[in-house]
Amino acid sequence: MIGHAFMGAAHSHAWRTAGRFFDLPSRPRLTAVCGRSQESVRRAAARYGWESYETDWRRLVERADIDVVDICTPGDSHAEIALAALAAGKHVLCEKPLANSVAEAVAMAEAADRARADGVRSMVAFNYRRVPALALARRLIEEGRIGTVRQVRASYLQDWLVDPEFPLAWRLRKERAGSGALGDLGAHSIDAAQYLTGRRIVSVGALLETFVTERPLPAESSGLSGTAGTERGQVTVDDAALFTARFHGGAIGVFEATRFATGHKNAMRIEVSGSAGALAFDAESLNELAFYDRSEDAGTAGFRRVLVTEPTHPYLDAWWPPGHLLGYEHTFTHQVRDFVTAVADGVDPRPSFAEGLQVQRVLAAVEASSTALGVHIPVTS
């Protein structure tokens, strides 16, 4: 694993846990973790259960005792690391969004295609696909339970940047993060919408806004936190993104991603409306799915709460008795389960780098539309 901050902790827990609950065809071994600071990565290795550590990711990629490279770094290094790992014959799991630009994502998808011929697999880590309630929603949509999909409403709301004195962390610098709320949060909503509906977004009309354009430079910064110094620097990404979308096949959608939704900590929500019903999900009620069946008698019809903890629900047969709830960390464990199983079976895990590239194209179209005063921009292919 390369990188050991917020996502590194979540991924480490998943690699440790997956084989203890799921019957995996291969048992993961936490061989080495990599970070730039020797002292920090040494502590991370001890804390998260890695056998060894490196301070140069190139040495890690070259090691003969490593089969999988898990990329948990900021977006500016995804392409370089993934290309080197695939060329070295390593399977690759890469955090979202896939890259910081369409050009980088194209190179990664093309490299993944070439590596596939030699049995080398790759996957983008959109962990919300592994929420059992969302996996159940996809199953119900595929079964036609809500009929023809007509509309999607998706929002991802956080508030950790409301304080204008919050320091200028790497997520607020375009050269490191690629974009702001759009890529950090909106990418999840874009992938979830396309995953649930089975339809690609083909055009977007957008508005991006940066409310606080200058922040104190961090004295020391890691992930979402950091101690502010006395100097200040420019925020070069968006604080909030709003856009409408058209899907292949005629459905439409509206999306919001913001880190300025005062009072909301991690409210990832999505609703899909169809000709025969609707489904709604809110990550703050992670184990629940709301389902509306239009065929029911109007006198008593309404959204009903489905508690997604039954052993027949996706992933749940490996966990606890019905009614015993799962959490955010389980999505990463499910991700490892799916990745390891696909690699062992010799099939491509999903979402693929090609699907990550599709999300990257949507992100680029949103940015292009925002500079064109919200004019709808096609998503290139």
Q: In this prediction, what percent of the chain has a pLDDT beyond 90?
A: 96
Of 72-76, 171-175, 221-225, 329-333, the range with the lowest mean pLDDT is 221-225
Bridge pairing between strands 377-378 and 201-209 = antiparallel
Please count the other Cβ atoms lying within 10 Å of the Cβ belonging to residue 129: 21
- Residues 6+ positions from 60 with CB-CB distance below 8 Å: 2, 32, 34, 54, 66, 69
**pLDDT (mean) for 87-111:** 98
Task: Please say whether the beta carbons of 99 and 108 come within 8 A.
Answer: yes
Assigned architecture for domain 130-326+359-371: 2-Layer Sandwich (3.30)
Q: What is the pLDDT of residue 339?
A: 98
Interior angle at CA 177, CA 175 and CA 181, nearest 5? 130
Domain 6-128 has CATH 3.40.50.720: yes
Interior angle at CA 187, CA 184 and CA 191, nearest 5? 150
- Domains of the chain by residue range: 6-128, 130-326+359-371
pLDDT tens, position by position, 266-317: 999 999 999 999 999 999 999 999 999 999 999 999 999 999 999 999 999 9
The answer on pLDDT for 29 being more than 50 is yes
Instruction: Grade residue 381 by pLDDT with cuts at 50, 70 and 90.
Output: confident
The answer on pLDDT for 222 being more than 60 is no
Region label for 120, one of left (φ > 0), alpha (ψ between -120 and 50) or beta (otherwise) = beta
Q: What is the pLDDT of residue 380?
A: 85
The whole-angstrom separation of Cα 66 and Cα 91 is 9
What's the one-letter identity of residue 211?
F
**pLDDT (mean) for 62-68:** 98
**pLDDT (mean) for 26-39:** 96
Task: Please say whether the beta carbons of 184 and 157 come within 8 A.
Answer: no
**pLDDT (mean) for 43-59:** 98
